[in-house]
Structures are given as structure tokens and as C-alpha cells.
A and B are shown apart, each in its own frame.
Chain A
Amino acid sequence: MNKSANVITHDVIVVGAGLAGTWAAMIASREGVTDVGVLSKLHPLRSHSGAAQGGIAGALNNVRPVPDTGPRGPLEQIPPGDDLIDSWELHMFDTIKGSDWLGDQDAIEIMVKDAIDIVYTYEHMGCVFSRTPDGRIAQRRFGGHSAPRANYAADWTGHVLLHTTHEQALKNGVKFYSEWVALDLIVEDNVCKGVIAMEMQTGQLVTMRAKAVMFGTGGYGRAWKITSNAIANTGDGVAIVYNAGVPLMDMEFVQFHPTGLYQHGILMSEACRGEGGYLRNKDGDRFMEKYAPDKMELAPRDLVSRSEQTEIDEGRGIGDDGQGIYLDMTHLGREKILERLPQVRDIALNFVGVDIIDDLCPIQPTAHYSMGGIPANANGQVIANAAGDPVVGLYAAGECACISVHGANRLGTNSLLDASVFGRRSGYAIAEFIKGGAALPEIEGDHLTRTQARITRLKSDPASGKGENWAKIARELKQTMTDDCGIFRSDEGLRRALQKVKELQGRFANAHVMDKSNRFNTDVLGAIETENLLTFSEVIVSSALARTESRGAHSRTDHTKRDDEDWLKHTMAHKTDDGTPELSYKGVNIDWEKYPPQERKY
């Protein structure tokens, strides 16, 4: 190999320019690894991290509920010298509880301790956070957190973090390959050697060689019909890594957010409830009283979504199809909404024509966050099996990774934190790996030709009558995942889903594109993304089918209880030769003294 011009070599290649990837690149370059290339299928600032609204968790202890108003009382800044109410320990406990005890506690400890520093670092890098009266970073409540520790910049927190981080990476001289799509990962004998990528503008395929490769390709909510995720969130990284022989972990855990805009899925930030919004059913009842009398609307997402879905299934939903629920913010008042939730208001106005200041806003649960993904340790190093052996030179962080800080259910604001903290740690680990004298591995196989063949196949017209549009396949997949692998799952439904996914995979062999050109071919990209959806959806369904318990976001109607006896373990799915996933299991890292599993009640 190594023959033509279409080879690019860097010390480090980062795939994905969201928070996770950008942090890694920025830190590696600051640590002296100057030759870092970042490829992103979108311009870096278009990454979905920028869509995060609510905040980033960190126990800064800047605000507290006004004394004697109870835990849901109004917030004020903590006067200097007064007792602190929050701590990383508390943050850790909330995260573990939120994860339904499936989170790895060593990694969680690292994350919550680092949280405080990373928020201050963001502030020092230039993020314009909202402020308390005396000028500290403002904090708000978020579901599942027992203290107000969501640090925020109005309701465009992710946007501010992403722009700031990208700018710092530019300052450090990181090279960005904007609108380059990774298509395949090269792993030979458990050593990662590079990726095959396509430059969108020319359609040219390139082998990108590197001593270390890092994945920060984000989530995969696009496998569902109603999702808060960007159209580009098709889980490419997850599928690519899986195809290269690396396992995927805990893929059955997908979080449904309680407040997606009705029929659009666009997120109405959890800050809506954090600031005091109510959920109401068709009859106008605040039904959360029934399901989480203590935390009410601020119970964790999985619980609220299930409560909504139950209301909907029992016929108390709203809208033409009865699939909606009301979000009531009318009591918050114009001023508060305009100051704290301006973006949310605009979204509701633009997409459903409702002004949340005066009217109830229709919402519905929406596929939101993928807890599972590429298994990695707390240094971002990808592991090859349940024993924890690393894949040499391969790293992952952010939503595409499963370092398992979120276990079976993520708490809001913990994922910007996860992407930042472990992106940064991967950066340090990569720098150490490179500076420790890592060599550029030789590539043996001809990977480029194989990838090229996939594209050529998509562009060639199949035998008459057999050809099919990829978009149709994608639509059917999304419908199936929504119907049979959504908030509530059952053996019957999952089997149906598995069969359907297999059928669709079969049909994809004859899928084709209409656009045969090379230049900026988004038709080919759409087809490849669909193929990726099909690949990991099979893993999700298989893992969900095997897990005969209900834990966190994974809720089985036929196994409604959590089962620590048999299922307090991570699912690992390997791709076998015939393409189907083979499941094995990995223990959860638990501190049995301090944080033993308890019942999860809110």
C-alpha cells in the first residue's frame, strides 16, 4: 500500500469536532504533539454539541435554594462564608443513582471531581456564562441532581462551549479537515492504523494514517423517528468501529427525553422544567404527582418519559394522534422566560406556533442520548474485550464512547461534562502515547479499495426492479425502532424489530443513489449513513432483547423489575463473521462499601 497521492499522514487523527474531539485535539497539541488533524463531516462549529441548551454539571457551590423554602424553593447565591450545599461526592451519588447503578464508579469519580476544574477552565477560556449577582457562574436545577449544579449560559450553553473550545484549538494550530467523512477504520492485529475518509467537496477517498486515532463522533438518535438529535447524528463512529472488529457496549440504553417538541422531536430544554415548568395531560392534571411525588417534573428523564408514555398509552395524550403532552410554563412569567429561555421560546414559536409565555406547549418524548457506544477506559483508550485489553492507538470519548459514567441512564448536563472531561483526558493520554515514542504502523491490507467498492456499488444501477431508494429503507428502520425498540420494550416487539432490521439489511444490498457525481455527493453520504444505522440498530435490538430486566432507560414490559442478580453487568457486542453480533458481558466497577446498589426512588 502507500502507493498514491491519496494518503495523508498525521501523528494524531481525531474523527469528530464536537466537544470531545476538539478537547482532545486542543490538549494534544498544547502538550507538544503539533501534528494533529481533525476531520469532521460537518464544519466543526456545526457539531451537535452546539445544540445543548441546559448546562454543564459541576458542584461549584455558587447558588442554593433560599433557606426554609425547601429543596424546590427559589435560588439565591450562597453568601461568602456560608455553608456549602454541594460537593463532588453528592454529584457522584446522584450520577450513580441516575445510572441505576450500571455506571462504572471509578470513572464517575474522575468525572465529577474534574467537573469543577473543567467549568472554571471553560470560563477562563472565554465562555460567557450567565452570572449570579456577585459575578459568579450562575447555576440552575436539573433533573436527577439533588443540588442546583447545572452551570449555564442562558439556554445556549453547548453553543458557547463549542465555539470557545474550537477557537482555542485554532489558537493551538490544530488542522481541521472540514467536511471530510470517515468511512472505515483500519485496525489490524488489534493495532489501530488509521481511517479511510472521503473529502466531500471532491468525493476523493483518502487513507489517513496516524499513530493514534481518536473518535468523538457523537450520538445516534437518528435511528428513531422522533429524535432531538441533528440529522447528522447517525452514529457513524459507532458503526465504523464495530465493523473494524471492536466491540460496542451497553447499546440497549438509549435515553428518551421527556420534552421533545410535538411531532418534531426538537428539544425543549430540560431547563424548562428546571426553571419550574409543569407537565400536564389531556385533562390538565400534573400527572407527575402519581409517578414521582417528591421530585415531580424534575425526576430523571427515563422516569419522566415513561410517565408521559404511560399517560399517552392510557389515552390521556393530546394532539391529533394522542401522542402529545402539555408543557406548561405560563406561570413562569414573561420576564423569566425571555431572560432564561429565549431560544426555547423561539423554537416553540417557529415550529408549532405556540408562545410559551401565554400558551401550553405540546411536547412528546424524543430519542435523545445514547448511553452506550465504543467501550473505553477513563483515559479514553478503547478496549477490545470484557477483560479490558486496549486496542493500541485507538481512543474514544463523548457520546459515541461508553466510558460508562452514565450507566443505564444519563443525568442532564452530565454529557457535556463527559465529553469535555474525557475528551481532555484522551488528549493527555494521546500526547503521552505519542511522546512515549509511538511509531507509525504500516498498513497491510488494501482498505481503500474495499471502501471504494462500497461506493461504486451504491452508484451503479442494480438489476432492474431490484433497486431501491436508501431513504425508504431508512424511514422503515426509524418506524420499526420507534414502534418496537422505544421507551417500552418487550420480547415480542424486539423479535419483530430484529427480524425487520435483518430484512432491511438484506434490502440495503440493492439500495442505490440517484446522484452519480463525485462532487459533494450527499446522496452517497445519506446511503452510507443509513448503512451505519442498520449496522448498529441490530446491536441495539439484540442487546435489548437479551437483557431481561428493566434498568434505567431500558424498560421491558415483560420484565419490569431491575435484576441485579443476573444483570448488573455491561453488554459487549462483537461483530461475528456472519455479521451478527455476539454478546458477552463485563462486570460493573462498584464501590460496594460506599455506593452499593439501592432501589432507585425519586
Chain B
Amino acid sequence: MYKSTGFISFVLRRFTGVALVLYLFMHIWVIGGANSGAETFNDRMEFLGSPLFRIAEIGLLAAVIYHAFDGIRLLIVHYFDVTEYRKSLFYAAFVVSVILTIAGGLPILLHALEG
């Protein structure tokens, strides 16, 4: 296993990407409840409303934020000649993701604990 920041970013990106795809499928199915009317929709939402799922949502948020900022990083590399700063770019994307995850996750956590 050849370890490096590049490798870590690659694994995280893949992992979050695939997780998001799986979530997307579930998400479409849940919301798709609306096809059979408001009842089904609210039932399926109820199912997701449990505190456990709420906390899992923080993971989801982390995944989406990291994946997005890593994606932005790749787009920057594609359009600008910045390969020299590859390590800093990764750290930047990672740190920003962590901060935003905390910022976004805290309200969710509080809400989950309340509810």
C-alpha cells in the first residue's frame, strides 16, 4: 500500500462517493413515498426521524462536505497549474470540511438530543 495524502484523499473520495450513491438511492425511495400520497411519505419520513438516523445524518453531512471540497480541489487542479501545492490543497480541503461539518452538525446534534 503506497501511503500518501494523495492516497488518503482518493480513498476518502471514493468511499464518500459510493456512500452518497447508496444514500441517494434510499433518498429517492423515501421521498418517492409521495408518489403514493402524503401518508406513505410521512410514514417513510417518520422511519428516518428516529434520533439514531439523525446522528447518522451527521456522517452523511460530513461525507457530502468532504466529497464536495475534494471535488472542488480536483476542479482547481484541472483548471489551474497548482500541482506544487498538492499537499496544502488537500489539507485545506480537509480542514474546511471538518469545520463545516462541525458547524452544520452541531445544530443537527442539538436537535436530535432535543427531539
| Direct contact, A vs B (beta carbon within 8 Å) | no
